[in-house]
Amino acid sequence: MDPAEAEFLAEKELVTVIPNFSLDRIYLIGGDLGPFNPGLPVEVPLWLAVNLKQRQKCRLIPPEWMDAEKLEEIRDQERKEDTFTPMPSPYYMELTKLLLNYASDSIPKADEIRTLVKDTWDTRIAKLRLSADSFVRQQEAHAKLDNLTLMEINTTGTFLTQALDHMYKLRTNLQPGESAQSQDF
């Protein structure tokens, strides 16, 4: 899967915005979007929130987990544990990127948040690489990883499966057997 596709899926997540216009309830295929009244917070999917912000029609409110202290705790916990800890949102990386790109003026301490999220991501990717490395070395057939998000799976997914495929082919060709055939020119 492309990272862009993962981001597309992440854009369905709901965030809170405060609009400055009024509109009645709209009924879309994916769901209803509640009535918009100026000054009253309303939950909308991320794609709509970003579009409205670009057109200066709303103010974005960061999700509750996007706070410097909470993210610091999460980062510290991630560093302590050997396995993956649960993340505040299954799409935390995409949400951070999109919100900090388009609405960094409504998010306090945006630079710190960016650094903290990147630190957490780096720790988790390092753990993933370690785990994939030991999996390959010990030639295990089965592994279980909890609490991974889609974006992280994407970084190693394709590569890991293709590499294992190649290794399997190489291994089967090592064993001399009736199934091994010599190549014809």
Partner 1 sequence: MFLSDFRKEFYEVIVTQRVLLLVASDVDALCACKILQALFQCDHVQYTLVPVSGWQELETAFLEHKDQFQYFVLINCGANVDLLEILQPEEDTFFFICDTHRPINVVNVYNETQIKLLVKQDDDLEIPAYDDIFRDEEEDEDDSGNESDGSEPSGKRKRFEEDIMERTMKRRQRREWEARRREILFDYEQYEYHGTSSAMVMFDLAWIMSKDLNDMLWWAIVGLTDQWVQDKITQMKYVTDIGTLQRHVSRHNHRNEDEENSLSIDCMRIAFEYDLRLALYQHWSLFESLCNTCYTSASLKLWSVQGQKRLQEFFADMGLPLKQVKQKFNSMDVSLKENLQEMIEESASKFGMKNLRVQTFSIHFGFKNKFLASDIVYATASLMENIEKDEPGTDNFIKALDSLSRSNLDKLHQGLELAKKQLRAIQQTVASCICTNLVISQGPFLYCYLMEGTPDVKLFSKPVSLCLLSKYLLKSFVCSTKNKRCKLLPLIVAAPMDVEQGTVIMVGIPPETESSDKKNFFGRAFEKAAESTNSRTLHNHFDMSSK
Q: Which residues bind partner 1 (CB under 8 A)?
A: 55-57, 100, 104-105, 107-108, 110-111, 114
Give the DSSP H/E element, type plus range, for residue 27. strand 26-28
Least gap, CB of 135 to partner 1 (angstroms): 39
Q: Return the CA Rg of the chain.
A: 22
DSSP state of 88: S
Q: What distance in Å separates the CA atoms of residue 38 and residue 78, rounded to the nearest whole number?
A: 40
Minimum distance from residue 107 beta carbon to partner 1 (Å): 8
The Cα 61–Cα 40 span in angstroms is 12
Minimum Å gap between C-beta 105 and partner 1 is: 6
**Smaller CB separation from partner 1, 70 or 114:** 114
* Cα angle, residue 41 at apex, residues 37 and 45 outer, rounded to 5°: 100
Alpha-carbon torsion (116, 118, 122, 128), positive or negative: positive
Q: Which is nearer to partner 1, 33 or 100 (CB)?
A: 100
**Hey, is 44 helix, strand or coil?**
strand
- Which residue's CB is nearer to partner 1, number 109 or number 132? 109
Nearer to partner 1, 10 or 52 (CB): 52
CA distance 97 to 7: 10
Least distance (Å) from partner 1 to the CB of residue 73? 20
Question: Considering beta carbons, is residue 24 or 105 the nearer one to partner 1?
Answer: 105
Contact 93, 116 (CB under 8 A): no
Nearest approach, Cβ of residue 62 and partner 1 (Å):
12
